[in-house]
Structure 1
Amino acid sequence: MSLQFDPNTLPGDGLDIQGSLPPSFFDLAENDQARPVTPLEYNLHVSKDEDGELFVTGEVSATFELHCGRCLEPFQLRIEQTDFAHQIPMENGTPDLTNLLREDILLALPTYPRCETGNVTPRECPAEGRFDSPTEPSGDEAPDASGKNTWEALDQLTNLKKN
């Protein structure tokens, strides 16, 4: 499952590459937080400049199942990169685009997924508001911006050490 091509056969106006790679392409462990549920779809244009550098631009997308960091329920998130762009130096002979595609999609996944950010089936998180602090000020109360209480508490701690 690699996306390789011979740069010496690139036409002057570049090469258009379209297709998909199966979900197993992402090579994620079974117990990983993210599970791909659709193939990786790509629509790329590869061109070469006069220095022999390759430019890859286009679109890549895939859908993943994640678990919400709040309610732990699964939800789906579609990652779509419509501005995929990479410059590849021609040092190694035959370039392989698979790692570039995999990395760009996986790096776009959220580190703390929340189900209300799911864009396949939008919904509100069932745990919304369940874990709010009871000491948070309501909308009517303004928090003490002076920080006076904080400093007083710290002063008391240093006074305890002196005694």
Structure 2
Amino acid sequence: MSSTPSISSLPRDIDPRKFAQQGLSLEGKIAVSDLPRVAEVLAEPGTEVGVALTFDIDEQGLKVVSGSVNGTLSVVCQRCLEPLPIEVEAELKLALAWDEDEAKNLPRRFDPWIVGDGATDIYAIVEEELLLALPMVAYHEEPCIDASLYQSGEVEEADVEPKANPFQMLEQLKSSPKS
């Protein structure tokens, strides 16, 4: 009884409980500009991500959502500060829960998705998964800036002048014999 609507752009608000009861699947694209927290961390947010979601009821009677989010996103290289395209893929394995208490009792193989009655914003879940899939630090694999610009923090001995120790006089007083 599973049907896959052919949708180029996914709907924002759905009722995931009804989708799970009906065993529906969604497949389509979401513009990154519709995901403000993801767009904020990208160098060029004018792309789309592909989303495939399957709603179902598992053998324990839990309403679950599985699927993937993938696409090529342009982040900022932390070396040269230029755009860097990266492939991002996130796998979803969620179980629907009414509240925090029910979410705590879900099997560990599922991440909880707390939903109430009625429609829920699926873009929020996609946005969370993309944020988790993005690398903390991104940089080009090939050298993108001149190696002479790197500094290790080491200073040659010849360049360092010895500094006078302000406590040298105290050290001398401490080591002198008491009279």
TM-score after normalising by structure 2: 0.59
1:110 Cα deviation from its structure 2 partner = 2.1
Task: Specify the SS of the correspondent of 1:8.
Answer: helix
| 2:150 aligned to which of 131, 146, 152 | 131
- Aligned counterpart, 2:112: none
| 2:132 aligned to which of 88, 93, 107 | 107
Aligned ranges for residues 114-153 of structure 1 at < 5 Å?
114-116=139-141, 124-127=142-145, 129=147, 130-133=149-152, 135=154
Asked if 1:86 corresponds to 2:111, the answer is: no
CA contact (8 A) 2:37 2:127 kept: no
1:61 partner letter: N
1:113 partner letter: A
CA contact (8 A) 2:54 2:67 kept: yes
Unaligned runs of 5+ in 1: 117-123, 137-156
Task: Specify the SS of the correspondent of 2:137.
Answer: coil
Name the CA distance, whole Å, in 2 between partners of 1:58 and 1:29.
19
Task: State how many pairs are aligned.
Answer: 132
Name the CA distance, whole Å, in 2 between partners of 1:68 and 1:105.
18
1:85 Cα deviation from its structure 2 partner = 1.4
- Aligned counterpart, 1:141: none
Unaligned runs of 5+ in 2: 1-10, 100-115, 156-164, 172-179
2:17 partner letter: P
1:6 Cα deviation from its structure 2 partner = 5.4
- Aligned counterpart, 2:174: none
Alignment RMSD: 3.2
In 2 relative to 1, CA 6–133 (structure 1 residues): closer, same or farther, beyond 3 Å?
closer
C-alpha offsets along residues 87-142 of structure 1, whole Å, 9 cap, x if unaligned?
221451234322111111022222222122xxxxxxx1322644142749xxxxxx
